[in-house]
């Protein structure tokens, strides 16, 4: 089991962070794609330069930092923009995560290491993993959470959701499902159960 490549994914507003935090509490090492994505857009990095050259300076502050709210709205208006951004950033992000996975394996050979990748299926990365764990909520719950969390209108929430693969299609291609549409205690119990199961998987 220790050599198995394990990915945790979900959809926007499915509570994946809650699930990842629980796995971390149980002893997993979490490689968070969002952290690597933030590093990828730091001024001075090659990926930042490539991104700025490609999408233009209007999405950046004078200091070079990304204007995230404007970029999110730009992606909602023009979904093709997301594809162009991902084409630039994904190779950097996945390469950095792969290097860290190799490093952690040497430092902690007995540890369970999880790749936390929100766009696992959208990027076609699922084929690179032996086990896929999905944080799942119904699309109706996702929309309501987006409205409340990000202060989006219902139509904006629906458009945001439409930029990802439907959550039920992700469910059909995942090995373990963490249902996260209800009580948090129920979600955490499911994480504990999946943890116990993967610890018993032979190499």
Per-residue pLDDT reduced to its tens digit, 45-93? 999 999 999 999 999 999 999 999 899 889 888 888 988 999 999 999 9
Q: What are the tens digits of pLDDT across the range 3-55?
A: 899 999 999 999 999 999 999 999 999 999 999 999 999 999 999 999 999 99
Q: Which long-range contacts (CB under 8 A, 24 or more apart) does 181-187 make?
A: 181/136, 181/137, 181/138, 181/141, 184/18, 187/15, 187/18, 187/19, 187/22
Partner residues linked to 66 by β-bridges: 60
Mean pLDDT calculated for residue range 120-144? 96
Residue in the structure block whose two tokens are 């995230």 = 68
Whether residue 142 is predicted with pLDDT greater than 60 in this model: the reply is yes
Domains of the chain by range and CATH?
Answer: 1-28+112-203 (3.40.50.300), 37-99 (no CATH)
Mark residue 109 as left, alpha or beta (left: phi above 0; alpha: psi -120 to 50; beta: remaining).
Answer: alpha
- Using alpha carbons, select from 129, 110, 97, 154 the residue that is nearest to residue 9: 129
- pLDDT recorded at residue 77: 85
The 3-state DSSP class for residue 189 equals helix
Residue 141 has phi, psi (to 5 degrees) of -65, -40
For residues 87-124, one letter each, b for 16 or more C-beta atoms within 10 angstroms of the residue's C-beta and e for the rest, the string is ebbbebbbebbeebeeeeeeeeeeebbbbbbbbbbbbe
For residue 128, with 0-12 CB atoms within 10 Å meaning exposed, 13-18 middle and 19 or more buried, which class applies?
A: middle
- pLDDT recorded at residue 38: 95
- pLDDT recorded at residue 2: 59
Residue in the structure block whose two tokens are 């139509």 = 155
- pLDDT recorded at residue 187: 97
Mean pLDDT calculated for residue range 88-105? 96
Helix (H) or strand (E) holding 6: strand 6-9
CA end-to-end span of the chain = 4
């Amino acid at each position: 089991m220790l050599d198995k490549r394990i990915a945790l994914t979900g959809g926007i507003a499915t509570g994946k962070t809650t699930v990842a935090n629980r796995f971390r509490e149980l002893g997993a090492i979490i490689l968070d794609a969002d952290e690597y994505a933030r590093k990828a857009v730091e001024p001075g990095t090659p990926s930042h330069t490539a991104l700025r050259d490609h999408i233009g300076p209007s999405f950046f502050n004078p200091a070079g930092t990304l204007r995230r709210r404007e970029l999110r709205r730009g992606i909602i208006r023009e979904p093709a923009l997301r594809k162009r951004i991902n084409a630039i950033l994904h190779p950097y992000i996945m390469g950095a995560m792969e290097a860290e996975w190799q490093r952690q394996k040497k430092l902690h050979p007995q540890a369970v290491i999880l790749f936390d990748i929100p766009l696992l299926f959208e990027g076609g990365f699922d084929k690179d993993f032996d086990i896929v764990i999905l944080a799942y909520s119904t699309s109706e719950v996702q929309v309501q959470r987006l409205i409340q969390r990000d202060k989006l209108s219902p139509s904006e929430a629906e458009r945001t959701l439409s930029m990802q693969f439907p959550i039920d299609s992700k469910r059909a291609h995942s090995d373990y499902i963490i249902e996260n549409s209800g009580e948090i205690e129920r979600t955490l119990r499911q994480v504990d159960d999946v943890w116990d199961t993967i610890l018993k998987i032979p190499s």
